[in-house]
Structure 1
């Protein structure tokens, strides 16, 4: 079955006026959280708020009806159809790609966000994530909060 693809774009009105490429496909535009605008954003200039922020704004405003949502990094391409069920995605189960070079999934960093018995279950993953819609609705606000906490304390804890 065909599904929708929507690009999520963090962009301020001034940036949007000169943005090239809006016509390449459906685009959901929201406020750039790098400059504040969300209760969890405690400092300015950190662009990583936009990934979870995009999801929060899009989920709240677009109200997607698809059971699964695939979230791809901007440098990812789909070469074959993506079937969430065949990949193993389900309510409570997110599918992603292994990214062994990522930091932050081992103690002591991961211990700041997870219970001790959960730390061994964490995995370095990225590139794409396939979520059940309702899981994503629950996760995204927590993702912004965790991003804020990680950014504010990045220099006080080793990765």
Structure 2
């Protein structure tokens, strides 16, 4: 069953459905993304329909000039339940929550580091900002090491052994999926909502979005997957995710239901290893930043997560959850990802 609701101007479908004690269902945006459907949804006051715009807040109705707006690039800028614009009203498909009473408002934030002075100051600031921002739930440092370090005495820490890949021993991003997987299976957290961030993230306000099982939310990555193109992200996807029917260009922060992350984590690691073990066969531009921004030599772990989620059929909402420097504007997100360079 679905209930279609008109959101208020400037309101997201996430909030419109939430106010009706329902959950926004993302798949309806594809069916609503045409002029006929929008005219039926907004029968009064719409003078014409335009297909010249794109964005995650579309399809929508713009009252100031009585224009219906169809999303011109739905594959690249897929509509999001969280998308909103101060000048538009959205038509929202709302249904019953999939998680029902089993989805609780409990949170656990995690991030991965190695024992070093380089990470120590980031860790201390991370926990300071977490507290100052009044973040919900707990936070745990996932430490990739063979034993606890001195910081473990004052910082909530889970020690995860370093992953082993004899073919590629120097690639440290393996640590993230490996540590997340180890923590989930050994520490057995009970919180439903897991927030995965990087250590160089600054919390400036609470990030308390509740996700249901099967409906995670993540940040837009610096690249896109245009299914009709031969751009480098799609070249990579066609090699390592051949049967994937969708691809979510995502990055941290990722807000995932614990049961979804339990499925994703082991495949995330194995897909990352699959990509890295094939690195001697990569075309030059996959890792050469002079002809592409992808830099697969470092970002293989990001693609590993995307492909793992896609193979499992777990589709992400893409929201603006963070900003990165230089920030010369009012910050409305919960996180500033300040990006320190890895030495």
TM-score (norm 1): 0.78
Q: RMSD of the alignment, in Å?
A: 2.5
Aligned counterparts of 2:154 and 2:232: Cα–Cα separation in 1: 35
Contact 2:180 2:265 in 1 (8 A): yes
Aligned to 1:29: 159
1:73 is matched with which residue: 192, 198, 202? 198
Aligned counterparts of 2:162 and 2:196: Cα–Cα separation in 1: 18
Gaps of 5+ in 1: none
Instruction: Using the TM superposition, name which of 148-157 and 133-142 deviates more.
Output: 148-157
* More strand by percentage: 2
Task: Kindly indicate whether structure 1 or structure 2 has the higher relative contact order, using CA contacts under 8 Å at least 6 residues apart.
Answer: 1
1:93 is matched with which residue: 203, 207, 215? 215
Q: Does 1:9 align with 2:143?
A: yes
Aligned to 2:187: 62
Contact 1:96 1:129 in 2 (8 A): yes
TM-score (norm 2): 0.38
Aligned to 2:238: 111
**Taking structure 1 as reference, are residues 67 and 106 closer, same or farther at Cα in structure 2, changes over 3 Å only?**
same
Q: Does 1:129 align with 2:254?
A: yes
Contact 1:70 1:129 in 2 (8 A): yes
Aligned to 1:150: 275
How many angstroms does 1:32 deviate by?
Answer: 1.6
Contact 1:6 1:27 in 2 (8 A): yes
How many angstroms does 1:7 deviate by?
Answer: 0.7
Aligned length: 144
Instruction: Using the TM superposition, name which of 106-115 and 137-146 deviates more.
Output: 106-115
Aligned counterparts of 2:196 and 2:276: Cα–Cα separation in 1: 22
Gaps of 5+ in 2: 1-105, 107-135, 226-230, 287-343
Contact 1:105 1:122 in 2 (8 A): no
Larger radius of gyration: 2
